[in-house]
Structure 1
Amino acid sequence: MSLSDLWFILIGVLFTGFFFLEGFDYGVGILLPFLGKTDTERRQIIGTIGPFWDANEVWMITAGGAMFAAFPHWYATLFSGFYLALALILLALILRGVAFEFRSKRDDPQWRARWDWAIFAGSVIPALLWGVAFGNIIRGTPIDGNMNFTGNFFDLLSPYTIITGLAGLAVFILHGAIFITMRTEGAVETRAQDWARKMVMPVIAICALLAVANYAQLDLFTEVGVNPGVIPVATAASLLAVGYFVWNRDFVWAFGMMALTMVLALVTYFWFLYPNVMVSSTNSAFSLTVDSASSSDYTLKVMSIVALIFVPVVLVYQGWTYWVFRKRVLADTKALHY
C-alpha cells in the first residue's frame, strides 16, 4: 500500500467521523423548533450538543486540510467546481454557530425564536448539500483533461444527487432524534422517541430508493465486496436493525446500529470511488485518481509523521469531552445558559 492510498483511507475515516458526529448535531438543530415547545425545552435540546458541536466540526476542517495537503489537485477541482454549494454550506455553518452564541443574549421570546430558526436553517442546508456533493463526486461531474471543472451549479443537481441529498438529510434527522432520546428526559425525551419512530419508515424508504439509484447509476452491488455486494447488504441490514430497535424503544442499541450503518455506508462509498477521487463524466480518462491527484512522497511522509503524533491526542481529548458530559441534560433553567 502506497502513502497516497493510506491518505485516501485516512480522509475517508475523517469524513466518516464527521458525518457520524456532526450528523446528530445537524439532526438536533433541525428538530429543535419541533421538539422544543417552550424556551426551557429548547435550551435543554441545545444543551445536548452544546459541549460537542464545535469540536465535531473540526473533523470536517481536518478532512479538508488533509485533502489540501495530500491531494491538492482533488482539493482544487472539488472546491472550484463546488464553490457555490460549499459557500452555502459555510454560510449556513456560520449562521448556525452565531445562533448558538446569540440566542441567550436577550431574554426576549421573539429574539430567541428567530435564532432557533437560524439554527434550523444552519443545520438543514449543510445536511442536504453534503449529500448532494458526495453524490456528485461518486456519480461524476464534467472535468476536462486539465483537471478543471467545466460545468456550473445546476450541473450538480440531478435526480440522483437530489436523492442522495434527501437520504442524507433523512438519516441525520433520525440520528439526531435518537441522540436526543439518550441525552434528555421528560417531555423532550418522549417527543424525540415519537419522532424517531415516525422517521424510521421514511428513512428506510428513501435509502431503499437510493439503493435502487445506486444500482442503476453505479452498479454498486457488483463492484464493492463480493457479489451481490456484501458491504451494501450489511449496510441495509444494519439500517433495518436501527428500525427494529427504535420500534422496541431500545435507543442505545439503535444509536449503535446507526453508527454501524453510517460507517458501512461511507466504507461502501470510498471503496467504490477508489482508485478515483473524482469521477469525470466528460471522459473516464479525465477522472482524478489517487496517484494523479496526490502530493509528492516527501510531503506525504511528513504529513504521516505529524498525523501519528497529533491524531491520537485529538481523539483522546474528544473522547474525554464526551465522557465528562455523558449525563443527560435536565430541564433545569439554572443549569442551562444557551
Structure 2
Amino acid sequence: MQLHDIWFAVIAVLWTGYFFLEGFDFGVGVLTRLLARDRRERRVLINTIGPVWDGNEVWLLTAAGATFAAFPDWYATLFSGFYLPLLVILVCLIVRGVAFEYRVKRTEKSWQDRWEAALFVTSLLPAFLWGVAFGNIVHGVPIGADKDYAGGLADLLGPYALLGGLVTLTLFTFHGAVFTALKTTGGIRPRARRLATVLGLGSSVLTAVFLTWTQLHSGDGRSLVAAAAAVLALLAAVAANAAGREGWAFGLSGVTIAGTVAALFLALFPDVMPSTLDPRWSLTAEGAASSPYTLKIMTWCAAVATPVVMLYQGWTYWVFRKRIGTQHIAENH
C-alpha cells in the first residue's frame, strides 16, 4: 500500500470521527426545537453538549488540514467548486460558536431566544449540507481537463446529493436524540427515546435507499459490506433504543455513521473527485497527492500527535459523563 492510499484512509477516519462527534451535537441543536418544551429544557439540551462541542470541531479542522497537505489538488478543486455551500457551513459554524457563548451574556428573554434560534438553524443547515457535499463528491461533478470545477450551483443540487443531505440530517438528529436519552434525566429522557424511534425508522429507510443508490452507481464488494453493516447497525440501534439500552443505541448509531462514511469512501476510491464530463479528468488519490516526502513527514507527525489529542478528548468526555436534568438548571438563571 502506497502512502497516498494510507492518507486517503486517514482522511476517511478523520471524517468518520467528525461526523460521529459533531453529528450528535448537531442533532442536539436541532432537538432544541423538536424536543424541548420550554427554555429550561432547551438549556438542559444545550448543557449536554456545552463542554464538548468545540472539541468535536477539531476533527473538521484536522480533516480539512490533512486534505490540504496530503491532496492539494483535491483540496483546491473541492473548495473552489463547492465554495458557496462550504461558505454557508463555515458561517453557520462561526455563528453557532458565538451562540453558545453569547446567549448567556444578557438576561433578556428576547436576547436568549434569538441566540437559541440561531443555534437551531446553524445546527440544521450544516447537518444537511454535509450530506449534499459528500453526495456530490462520491457521485461526481463536472471537472474539466484543467482539474477545475466546470459546473454551477445547480449542478450540486441533484437528487442523489439532496438525498444525501436528508440522510445526514435525519441520521445526525437520531444520533443526537439517542445521546440526549443517554445524558439526561427526568421527562426529557423518555421523550427523547420515543422521538429517536421515529427518527431512526425514517433514517433507516433513507439510508438504505441512499447506500443502495451508491452501490449501484460505483460500489464494489467492500463498499457493499460497509453499507450492509451501516443499515443493520441502524436497525439494531433503533431496537436498542426502544428497549431502553441507551448506551448500546448510541454506540450502534455511531457504527452506522462509521459504516456509511466507509461505504462512501470505498465507493469513491481510487478517485477522490470523479468527473461527470470525462472519466479521464477525474481526480485520483495517486494523481492528486503530495510528494512521497511530504506524506512521510505527515505520517510521523500524525503518529505522535493523534494519540495525545484522542486521550485528551476522551478525558473530557469522562469528566462530563454524568446525566443532567431540569433540576440542575436554576429557574431564574
Is it true that 1:248 corresponds to 2:243 in the alignment? Answer: yes
Say if 2:128 and 2:166, in contact at 8 Å, map to a contact too: yes
Q: Give 1:224's aligned residue.
A: 221
| 1:290 equivalent in structure 2 | 285
The aligned counterpart of 2:28 is 28
Deviation of 1:91 after TM superposition, in Å, equals 0.7
Q: Percent identity?
A: 46
Report the residue type matching 1:290 in the other structure.
A
Q: C-alpha separation between the residues in 1 aligned to 2:332 and 2:139? A: 45
Contact 2:214 2:264 in 1 (8 A): no
> Equivalent residue for 1:319?
314
SS of match in other structure, 2:323: coil
Match of 1:103 in 2: 103
Contact 1:27/1:175, CA 8 A, preserved across alignment: yes
Check conservation: 1:238, 1:257, Cα contact below 8 A.
yes
CA displacement, residues 60-82 of structure 1 (integer Å, 9 cap, x when unaligned): 01000000001000000000000
Tell me which amino acid in the other structure corresponds to 1:196.
Answer: A
- Contact in 1 for aligned 2:226/2:263 (Cα 8 Å): yes
1:261 corresponds in structure 2 to 256
Alignment RMSD, CA only? 1.6
Task: Give the aligned partner of residue 44 of structure 1.
Answer: 44
What is the SS of the residue equivalent to 1:238?
Answer: helix
Letter of the aligned partner of 2:127 in structure 1? A
What is residue 81 of structure 2 aligned with on the other side?
Answer: 81
How many angstroms does 1:192 deviate by?
A: 1.1
| Alpha-carbon distance between aligned partners in 2 of 1:219 and 1:297, rounded to the nearest angstrom | 28
Distance in 2 between residues matched to 1:24 and 1:296, nearest whole Å: 36
**Secondary structure of the structure 1 residue equivalent to 2:107:** coil
TM-aligned CA deviation for residue 336 of structure 1: 11
Q: 1:297 to 1:178 in 2, by over 3 A?
A: same
Aligned to 2:178: 178
Instruction: Tell me how far apart the structure 2 counterparts of residues 104 and 309 of structure 1 sit (CA, whole Å).
Output: 38
Shift of 1:163: 0.5
Distance 1:307 1:42, change over 3 A: same
Question: Displacement of 1:108 after TM fit?
Answer: 1.8
User: 1:211: how far off?
Assistant: 3.2
SS at match of 1:162: helix
Query: What is the distance in 2 between the residues matched to 1:259 and 1:336?
Result: 36
Per the alignment, in what secondary structure is the counterpart of residue 172 of structure 1? helix
Checking the alignment, whether the CA contact within 8 Å between 1:44 and 1:336 is kept in structure 2 is no
The answer to whether residue 296 in structure 2 is matched with residue 333 in structure 1 is no
Determine the C-alpha separation between the residues in 2 that align with 1:203 and 1:303: 37
Residue equivalent to 1:117: 117
CA distance in 2, matches of 1:167, 1:230: 19
Q: Which moved more, 1:252-261 or 1:120-129?
A: 252-261
The one-letter amino acid of 1:307's match is A
Kept in 1, the 8 Å contact 2:71–2:290? The answer is yes
Change over 3 Å in CA distance of 1:335–1:308 after alignment to 2: farther
2:234 to 235, 239, 242: 239
Instruction: State which drifts further: 71-80 or 327-336.
Output: 327-336
**Structure 2 CA distance, aligned partners of 1:314 and 1:22?**
16
Separation in 1 of the partners of 2:332 and 2:138? 43
Q: In the TM superposition, what is the alpha-carbon distance from 1:272 to its structure 2 partner?
A: 1.3
Distance 1:30 1:336 in 2: 24
Instruction: Provide the rounded CA distance (Å) in 2 between the counterparts of 1:127 and 1:294.
Output: 28
Cα deviation, 1:282-305, whole Å, max 9, x if unaligned, reads: 111111111110111111111111
Amino acid at match of 1:230: V
- Give the alignment partner of residue 304 of structure 2, picking from 300, 304, 309: 309
- TM-score, length basis structure 1: 0.95
Contact 2:41 2:188 in 1 (8 A): yes
Q: Which SS does the other structure have where 1:225 is aligned?
A: helix
Deviates more, 1:322-331 or 1:282-291: 322-331
Once the two structures are TM-superposed, the CA of residue 330 in structure 1 deviates from its matched residue by 3.3
* Structure 2 residue 274 is the aligned partner of structure 1 residue 279: yes
Measured in 1, the distance between the counterparts of 2:14 and 2:332 equals: 31
d(CA) in 2 for partners of 1:318, 1:9: 22
- Structure 2-normalised TM-score? 0.96
Paired residue secondary structure (1:149)? coil
Please state how far the C-alpha of 1:208 moved relative to its aligned partner: 2.6
After superposition, the C-alpha distances for 1:212-255 in whole angstroms (9 at most, x for unaligned) are: 43244x152xx1328xx322222221111112112222221111
1:309 partner letter:
V
- 1:205 counterpart residue number: 205
* 1:32-69, Cα deviation, whole Å (9 max, x unpaired): 12322222221111110011100101100100000000
The answer as to whether partners of 1:224 and 1:268 remain within 8 angstroms in 2 is no
Partner in structure 2 of residue 60 of structure 1: 60
Q: Which runs of 5+ in 2 are unaligned?
A: none
Which consecutive segments of 4 or more residues in structure 1 shift more than 3 A? 334-337
Unaligned runs of 5+ in 1: none
Query: How far, CA to CA, are the matches of 1:106 and 1:34 in structure 2?
Result: 25
